Amino acid sequence: MFPAAGEEPHPHLFEEVIMIGLPLVGIALAWFIFGKRAVDTQKLAGSGFGAALHRFWFTQWGMDWLYGKVFVQPYNALARMSRNDFIDSFYNGTASVARHLHGLVSETQTGQVRWYAVSLGAGLLLLVSIGVFL
């Protein structure tokens, strides 16, 4: 930490003084403002610069605004631009085919358990026949 006799002073001495000094200045300023009540904080927060600083600090230092500008707005713009592209038509076509097939299959659902059992047995017989003969 301390240079030997005849050597140059520590090359980062200024940075170390700043690292130790700034927190001490902050503590002294906080004591002066809040401990000694030398500054009317309500009046300061209601003034032009104080109100802007208060709003900046109490809106998470503007991170919500920055996040909205950097990420949310470009994402929403891209989503609006690609709303009706060809990939959507593929998925919409797949969904309409599934709806059509559901309509066809749901007509076979009559609620008669005997018919379901016969259909299941016939399907099983068909699968076994295919497996045996092929």
> What are the average pLDDT values for consecutive 10-residue runs of the chain, which has 134 residues?
63 84 94 87 83 84 90 95 83 93 84 85 96 89
Say what the pLDDT of residue 102 is: 93
Task: Select from 39, 37, 62, 66 the least CA-distant residue to 50.
Answer: 39
Say what the pLDDT of residue 109 is: 76
Say what the pLDDT of residue 73 is: 97
| Per-domain residue ranges of the chain | 13-61
- CA triple 16-6-10, angle to 5 deg: 10
Say what the pLDDT of residue 10 is: 65
- 45-68 as b/e: b if 16+ CB within 10 A: eeeeeeeeeeeeeeeeeeeeeeee
Query: How is residue 10 written in tokens?
Result: 């520590």
Say what the pLDDT of residue 31 is: 92
Q: Give this prediction's pTM.
A: 0.37
